[in-house]
A and B are shown apart, each in its own frame.
Chain A
């Protein structure tokens, strides 16, 4: 709903700008919002479609909004819109590549501004079970704090730690452990 309004506003603004060229300063008073979406037969409307205006761009970014939640998560991951961040053993500080990834996640949340996410903290099996629950909480919160510092409201992020209890990979080697030491992003509503 919000989305449609934003689009409508863009259409109006661009239409106003184009129309404004021809009609001078009187135009804004004569064109009202409800009329804006219906200038199909006029010349200026074609210009809108051809222009690199945000209308088209915005439309592309919002792809996937009609997907089921699980599908939407898959879609967002495959497109690289959201992704997980990884940590060193027994650490919860964000590495440079983690910050890069979180910046992209923040951009996604900025574009899809109705989406809320759960950030899950996970650990590898080499810590103790109990300590890892606390460590996973740190990791999830480190990721959430960084995204909040980029201007995303904390109310759109929930954190939960699973410690080492829900591993994505169950082998005992470094490549597997690395995959498990993560803050995982899951879209929970949109």
Chain B
């Protein structure tokens, strides 16, 4: 009987609470912990302005991590983030140089470039069955090569369009940065896609057991292809926002986003083996990583210390709940 009542109770809880898994709870607990620790270092740490500023910084990572999550949910990984981010930023800025029409198309053009790179990666993974890690490393190298050729090895001179700047730094709703709104919209769309569409269900199914999804009559290869394209587009869009934030693109602006994006997804409870994870977790992971970065910089921890802390935190969290099941006794 107790079993039945507990089930009833669970049934009555809001849906997102029911799906809350320990990893997400842990991530939120860590966020609280970081906020408390941070407030010891600086009194302004808990002020609304500072928190909103953090949320704004987090939204760039949030957009990129959204794409990464989609890919990780299928049990794959996207290592092409660094140069897809840069490509998106540079191409959007480049389009801006072509008069008013270019400026108007800057954002879609940047995103489109990311989608194209994602399509190449997705084709390699889905149809050529090359491990995603290898394909995306290769497409990352190709994207880098293209950008080096395009820029001639120097930081590009084009600057972001007003629209990009407005998107990244403006505030349509007073006090709420546009970047945060953009992330919220993308996040909402992703939640809808993951939970309410055939595509989303297929992504989870492929991550759990591609064989079973295929035998259920799903064209799993097409789903994988599309997911990589979407991930590429989101990475590039993240780059567009970053370019708007800094008002121009830079060569290695994406380097700092690969590890945090993977970390945010994994720390948010998405299984690196695929098939399990909620967007709420990714949101928690993104905020957690951003706060961690912020605190480390408030503590004036040098880059070296940040990298080491990152690495250790990720390995430790993974050892806690990201292990593959033991094979054979």
Question: Do A and B originate from a single complex?
Answer: no
B residues with a Cβ closer than 8 A to A are none
